[in-house]
């Protein structure tokens, strides 16, 4: 097995980091996982219901999370599609995703209950209980990971014995097993 870059190597001699599509995919899944984990931890340790308004069912929470995921995916794609993305838009991404989650949950609560006061109460719960902050933090961490994946110039992982330069690695007699 040779260690030099062959013409079939799509990255050439200088690795270009993770592709924008993979960065978007990985960070979107990561955002979803961080958000669910964060909301679960908040609910468990603070002993609060994320949406404490009775009678709404799971629809507002599900629609809010789906909307937040779609918003995050669109925003992170716009941030990481450039060859050297910057960290500047991360705070805006976090705030916009949190706002989208808040508005989508409120809209779904309005559709389910038919009352504006119920939608406003749900929005108040999300903000005062910290759920909106958790969603924003999950978006910030996941987006930072996406930008870092794109900016990293790392190559494929290699074991020390795969190195052709320098002293032979492996057994004391220099043989690789």
* Distance in angstroms (rounded) separating the CA atoms of residues 9 and 5: 6
Where do the structural domains in the chain lie, given as residue ranges?
Answer: 20-153
Q: Please, which pLDDT band fits residue 107 given cuts at 50, 70 and 90?
A: very high
How far, in Å, CA of 100 to CA of 102, rounded?
5
pLDDT at 9: 44
144 is written with which tokens? 């930072």
Provide the 8-state DSSP code for 5. P
Distance CA 77, CA 28 (A): 10
Q: pTM higher than 0.85, yes or no? A: no
pLDDT digits (tens, 9 = 90+) for 1-14: 444 444 444 445 55
Q: What would the pLDDT profile of 49-58 be if each residue is shown by its tens digit?
A: 888 888 888 9
Name the token pair of 57: 């069912």
What Rg, from alpha-carbon coordinates, does the chain have? 23
> Sign (positive/negative) of CA torsion 40, 46, 50, 54?
positive
Q: How far apart are CA 69 and CA 96, in angstroms?
A: 11
Cβ atoms 35, 65 nearer than 8 A? yes
Other beta carbons within 10 angstroms of residue 176's beta carbon come to 9
């Amino acid at each position: 097995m040779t260690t030099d870059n062959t013409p079939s190597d799509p990255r050439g001699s200088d690795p270009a980091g993770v592709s924008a599509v993979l960065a978007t995919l990985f960070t979107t899944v990561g955002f979803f996982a961080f958000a669910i984990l964060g909301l679960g931890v908040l609910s468990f340790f603070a002993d609060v219901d994320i949406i404490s308004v009775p009678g709404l069912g799971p629809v507002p929470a599900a629609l809010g999370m789906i909307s937040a995921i779609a918003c995050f995916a669109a925003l992170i794609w716009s941030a990481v599609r450039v060859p050297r993305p910057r960290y500047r838009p991360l705070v805006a991404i976090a705030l916009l995703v949190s706002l989208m989650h808040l508005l989508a949950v409120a809209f779904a609560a309005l559709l389910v209950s038919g009352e504006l006061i119920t939608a406003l109460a749900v929005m108040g719960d999300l903000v005062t209980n910290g759920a909106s902050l958790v969603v924003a933090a999950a978006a910030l961490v996941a987006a930072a990971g996406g930008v870092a994946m794109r900016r990293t110039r790392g190559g494929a992982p290699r074991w020390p014995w795969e190195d052709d330069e320098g002293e032979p690695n492996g057994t004391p007699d220099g043989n690789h097993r």
